Amino acid sequence: MVVLSSDPKPFYRAHIFVCTNERPENHPRGSCARKGAEKLRNYMKTRAKELGMGLEDGVRVNNAGCLERCELGPTLVIYPDGVWYRAETFEDIDEILEVHVKQGGRVARLMLKPEDGPDHSAKLK
């Protein structure tokens, strides 16, 4: 990611997008919604507020349409860091909020790498 000195400051300190895309029941790629993403997103929104990570702290949790990694889902991405995670449980969400959002670290065991999921390498060139 290139950041220019003329770029405006990010609007949010942490803008979290949780994929809630839903595909048909037996779709070969699956879907984050069918893997419980809406429940996890709702929990994340509530938990972030409980921990004092609301808009006043520059943190926003949003749902997102397809993020193109449903095979690995439920997935979420945190901007402006551009760090992707797979979160399956409330405990995963708690760890991401505590370690990544609050402390500025990374939860390595939940992180998705660019090579994970569908091959989009041609799009990245």
Question: Considering the entire predicted model, what is its pTM?
Answer: 0.86
2 in any annotated domain: no
- Distance between CA atoms of 106 and 7, rounded to whole angstroms? 25
Nearest C-alpha neighbor of 102 from the set 62, 54, 63: 54
Q: What is the pLDDT of residues 88-98, one digit of tens each?
A: 999 999 999 99
125 in any annotated domain: no
122 in any annotated domain: no
Cβ atoms of 79 and 35 closer than 8 Å: no
- Mean pLDDT, range 57-76, rounded to an integer: 90
Number of domains in the chain: 1
8 in any annotated domain: no
Nearest C-alpha neighbor of 100 from the set 114, 115, 117, 112: 112
- In the prediction, which pLDDT does 22 show? 87
7 in any annotated domain: no
124 in any annotated domain: no
Residue 103 neighbours by CB distance under 10 Å: 9
Residue 120 pLDDT class (50, 70, 90 cuts): low
Residue 125 pLDDT class (50, 70, 90 cuts): very low
Domain hosting 84: range is 14-114
Kindly state the tokens that stand for 15.
């803008």
45 in any annotated domain: yes
Domain of 53, CATH number, reads: 3.40.30.10
Q: Which residues contact 117 (CB under 8 A, 6 or more apart)?
A: 68, 69, 71, 72
